[in-house]
């Protein structure tokens, strides 16, 4: 870990950030800021404003400033609510709002750098933050780091967008990626990059002691001694929720005491609820809706299996890292996942989890039975997965790796 003789100031710029305390929007960016502050860095965050959010506030010790890019504020619909990619796909009108977002983001980065005496700029996502960050640091020269989180390189494609991405990646001081899959995509886009580093985002490691909230959740959701399956994530097609639902339909006769939770919100929730009813699974599957991120670990801890059947979408999106998978592993919950994106960095089939084909509920059903009916296998997966997370994917490890990189950039 880099030892800091004096606090150095870092400006995070991001288009996705918790809109208020407890919001589930990209909490990993907030967590990284918190963890860097703990080890001696001073971190401020600049993010777009959204209807109902404060322009300035402190969240968990992190100073956040949100810039308005359209008036009245209700017009600001490009970011949040699933992210810019989903919002652009849902409403093409958001495309006409992008220039305003980019222009006001650039202006506000410039003003922050001019007044704030920052030592380093850290842009989260290539577009627009990486691009606006490059332009701003041309005028206010400080080291500039771009973190590629995945969706920005997998799904934002086309000649014009690729040109902007290549320009941004080629004119910053360093780049980090969160997985091997993201690294490959970045190298295909810009083959000659010299300052590319793989630093996964980390998850919190808890002691996994059963608490009163977990006991209450078990009483509420578990049927007798039957297994409880869980999905956590955005309720959209690419997360494979349909495959989760159909797999439960395939195993319900062999596991009559089975119950399942689908945790999260998203544009396709109503369609998934209709599918659940059409398959007569509404007495087995419960849609909980949004859950406070601080309580998700308790839900993961009471589950017998976490299932993440992510798919590659038509736009090219894939699971870049899969933090919820890692959170399940940290909760000692066996994981079933698809062979896609960055998931295979940490899910080793038969060792730290079970891997299945995309869009294949039949394979998911077989994997469910395998884990439930083979206690030795379940125990092996739990132990190996937990050790993998604590040794390679903790928040502390991630923050220390970023801190070390910051230190090198400031030499």
Same-domain check for residues 399 and 355: no
The residue with greater pLDDT, 344 or 294, is 344
What are the tens digits of pLDDT across the range 237-285?
999 999 999 999 999 999 999 999 999 999 899 999 999 999 999 999 9
Asked whether residue 109 falls in the same domain as residue 66, the answer is: yes
Domain range enclosing 276: 212-392
% of the chain residues with pLDDT over 90: 87
Give me 306's structure tokens.
């976490």
Question: Model confidence over 159-208: pLDDT tens digits?
Answer: 999 999 999 999 999 999 999 999 999 999 999 899 999 999 999 998 77
Mean pLDDT of the chain, nearest integer:
95
Q: Is residue 115 part of a domain?
A: yes
Counting the structural domains of the chain, the total is 2
Q: List pLDDT tens digits, range 136-159.
A: 999 999 999 999 999 899 987 889
Give the closest residue to 312 by CA, choosing from 345, 340, 270: 340
Q: What CA–CA distance (Å, rounded) separates 41 from 44?
A: 10
pLDDT per position as a tens digit, 16-54: 999 999 898 899 999 999 999 999 999 999 999 999 999
Regarding whether 226 and 183 lie in a shared domain, the answer is no
Kindly state whether residues 367 and 402 are assigned to the same domain: no
289 and 327 belong to one structural domain: yes
Whether the pLDDT of residue 2 is over 50: the answer is: no
Residues 289 and 370 in one domain: yes
Q: Are residues 183 and 298 in the same domain?
A: no
Kindly state the average pLDDT of the residues 353-375. 98
Tell me the average pLDDT across 320-348. 98
Within a domain: 143: yes
Residue 1, pLDDT > 80, answer: no
* pLDDT grade for 135, boundaries at 50, 70 and 90: very high
350 lies in some domain: yes
Q: b/e per residue, 332-341, with b = 16+ CB within 10 A?
A: bbbbbbbebb
DSSP string, 174-203: EEEESSHHHHHHHHHH-TT-SSEEE----B
pLDDT at 274: 98
Q: What is the pLDDT of residues 66-88, one digit of tens each?
A: 999 999 999 999 999 878 878 88
pTM: 0.94
Same domain, 177 and 248: no
Same domain, 243 and 157: no
Closest CA to 59 of 110, 14, 107: 14
The per-residue pLDDT for 314 is 86
Q: Could you tell me if 257 and 378 lie in one domain?
A: yes
Residue 362 lies in a domain: yes
107 and 198 part of one domain: yes
CB burial of 122-150 (b: ≥16 within 10 Å; e: otherwise) equals bbbbbbbbbbbbbbbbeebebbbbbbbbb
Q: Tell whether 333 and 288 lie within a shared domain.
A: yes
pLDDT at 402: 99
Q: Judge whether 4 lies within some domain.
A: no
- Asked if residue 63 is part of any domain, the answer here is yes
Residue with tokens 């590319």: 196
Residue 203 φ/ψ, nearest 5 degrees? -120, 160
CATH classification at residue 24 = 3.40.50.2000
Residue 395 near residue 202, CB atoms below 8 Å: yes
């Amino acid at each position: 870990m880099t030892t800091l003789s004096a606090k150095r100031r870092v400006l995070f710029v991001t288009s996705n950030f918790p809109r208020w305390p407890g919001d589930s929007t990209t909490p990993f960016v907030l967590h990284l800021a918190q963890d860097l502050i703990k080890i001696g860095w001073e971190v401020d965050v600049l993010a777009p404003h959204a209807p109902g959010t404060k322009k300035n506030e402190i969240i968990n010790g992190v100073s956040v400033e949100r810039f308005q890019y359209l008036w009245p504020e209700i017009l600001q619909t490009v970011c949040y609510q699933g992210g810019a990619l989903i919002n652009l796909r849902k409403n093409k009108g958001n495309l006409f709002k992008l220039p305003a977002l980019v222009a006001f983001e650039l202006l506000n980065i410039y003003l922050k750098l001019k007044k704030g005496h920052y030592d380093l700029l850290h842009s989260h996502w290539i577009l627009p933050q990486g691009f606006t960050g490059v332009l701003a640091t041309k005028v206010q020269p400080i080291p500039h780091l771009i973190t590629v989180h995945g969706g920005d390189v997998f799904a934002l494609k086309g000649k014009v967008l690729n040109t902007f991405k290549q320009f941004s990646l080629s004119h910053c001081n360093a780049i980090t990626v969160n997985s091997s899959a993201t690294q490959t995509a970045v190298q295909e886009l810009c083959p000659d990059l010299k300052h590319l580093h793989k630093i996964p985002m980390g998850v919190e490691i808890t002691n996994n002691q059963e608490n009163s909230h977990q006991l209450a959740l078990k009483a509420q959701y578990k049927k007798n001694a039957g297994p409880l399956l869980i999905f956590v994530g955005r309720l959209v097609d690419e997360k494979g929720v349909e495959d989760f639902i159909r797999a439960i339909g395939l195993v319900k006769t062999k596991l009559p005491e089975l119950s399942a939770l689908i945790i999260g919100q998203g544009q396709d929730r109503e369609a998934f609820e209709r599918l659940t009813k059409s398959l007569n699974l509404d007495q087995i599957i419960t849609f909980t809706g949004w859950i406070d991120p601080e309580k998700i670990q308790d839900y993961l801890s009471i589950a017998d299996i976490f299932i993440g059947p992510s798919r590659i979408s038509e736009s090219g999106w894939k699971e870049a890292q899969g933090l919820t998978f890692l959170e399940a592993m940290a909760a000692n919950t066996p994981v079933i996942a698809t062979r896609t994106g960055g998931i295979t960095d940490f899910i080793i089939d038969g060792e730290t989890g079970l891997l299945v084909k995309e869009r294949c509920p039949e394979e998911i059903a077989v994997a469910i039975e395998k884990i439930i009916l083979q206690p030795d296998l379940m125990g092996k997966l739990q132990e190996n997965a937990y050790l993998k997370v604590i040794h390679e994917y903790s928040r502390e490890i991630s923050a220390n790796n970023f801190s070390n990189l910051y230190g090198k950039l400031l030499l």
